[in-house]
Amino acid sequence: MSVLTVSYSLFLFAYGSRREVDVRDRPPRMRFVVMIPCLDEELVIGRSIERLLSIDDDQLIVLVIDDGSTDRTAEIVNASTDPRVRLFQRVAPNCRQGKGEALNAAYRYVRDQALMTGLDPHEVVLVVLDADGRLDPEGINKVAPCFSSPEVGAVQIKVRIHNAPDATTARMQDYEFATFTEVFQRARARLGSSGLGGNGQFNRLSALMDLGDSPWSDCLTEDLELGINLLLHGHRNTFQPSAWVSQQGLTKMRPLIRQRSRWFQGHLQCLRLLPSIMRSNLHPVAKFDLCFHLLNSIVMLMFQSLSIWFVLTVLSWTIASPEALSVFLSGLTPAFLYFVAFGLAPLATFAYLRTEPGISIPRAMLDGHLYILYTYIWWFAGVRAVYRQLRGSRSWAKTSRILGTGDEAVPYFDPRPPAPVFYVVPDSPTESIAPLERIAS
């Protein structure tokens, strides 16, 4: 399985490097609604709104979903006087039911508003952005032409880590996203099976409507499951490598492993989709690709477990019997040992140089080898995820934001008492929200 994984990864890298995604001019009537799910995001939401409003698109709507925040998130959003900004506030008992349900509630509202104002759902795109996300100023113009193909239901853009220069751990996360982009996403765009991420996700409203009232699930990786369900319903997912969104990278190991454990467990939950994939009318290559990516986390966990067992065995031999270790190593060349340990380091280095051409080659090579060591955090995350899955645990704690990355207000934000309620989610007849009349303009 390890040989198959490496071989298929190399194939995808070569296949995806052949050409960029072919797109046409931007559809003239396409409208974009940026949905930002928030839970206690007073530290970053103000700056994020400012950046989005700097985009030259008077049809753009910024819909902030306040999912029961107890800080000043709502107050900061309402402080904006720009008519493109809207607050969609969820209150108890409807709030804090997970990111997927927060997105579903906002989606239903936008869908109903679009239909009520006579907009064509095929020409409305819902963009999912994290509260700390920095969207490429030209991102919408780069993505919009992808939707000129009617079969395209969703587009994913590449993800970067904007505090990568500040910490080695953050730099490794930048390597992680860059490698995934260059090795997998470019090729999957050509296959029509690009994966969707929780940040920088563009979804055609009509495609979401094919999935019913709740396109996003309660899965811990609701973005992964959404992308697969769109494919199963006959839509095409693609990837736009020229557009990007950046986010904060975690700088401490414990929250990083906890976050990756949630992602790993989400992959385990999505294994339930394998029978549907195999029964679908997707192209056999697309079926194989989807199954490969769903099973790859388990294969990686098994491979890393064997690698750790090998290292521990060698260390025990070194301590107990240096002669036995000498006999064992005499049959292995240094080149073979290097290939086993760091064989994919050159690939990671080349992938990152394509994403970050400003970095020096020696620095990229050093970081490429560090990245191989960094990937073993997935072993700890995977073991934790398997344990949680066997226990039936599905809860997860929100990761705290980091100070000093430029996302927060300057000087650093001084927390104040919770904000009053301005708008609330229309989940009951007694609640209302300001209409998105800007969509219809």
pLDDT tens digit sequence for 236-272:
999 999 999 999 999 999 999 999 999 999 999 999 9
Per-residue pLDDT, 57: 87
Name the pLDDT band for 432 (thresholds 50, 70, 90). Answer: very low
How far, in Å, are 163, 230, 244, 317, 321 from residue 175 at the CA level?
A: 12, 28, 15, 34, 39
112 touches 436 (CB < 8 A): no
Assigned domain for 269 exists: no
For 192-228, the DSSP string reads: TBPPP-SSSEEEEHHHHHTT-S--S-SSTTHHHHHHH
Assigned domain for 372 exists: no
Give per-residue pLDDT as tens, 5-64. Answer: 667 777 777 777 665 545 566 676 889 999 999 999 999 999 999 999 999 888 899 999
Assigned domain for 407 exists: no
Cis peptide before 411, with omega less than 30 degrees from 0?
yes
Per-residue pLDDT, 439: 38
Rounded CA gap, 147 and 24, in Å?
9
Q: Supply the pTM of this predicted model.
A: 0.87
Assigned domain for 303 exists: no
* Edge-to-edge strand ranges of the sheet holding 31-38: 85-90, 61-67, 31-38, 124-128, 201-204, 152-161, 236-247, 134-135
Domain count, the chain: 1
Rounded CA gap, 171 and 352, in Å?
11
Give per-residue pLDDT as tens, 356-390. Answer: 988 999 999 999 999 999 999 999 999 999 999 99
Assigned domain for 172 exists: yes
Assigned domain for 14 exists: no
Assigned domain for 144 exists: yes
Assigned domain for 271 exists: no
Q: List the domain range (segments joined by +) for residue 64.
A: 23-257
Name the pLDDT band for 313 (thresholds 50, 70, 90). Answer: confident
CATH number (domain holding residue 137)? 3.90.550.10
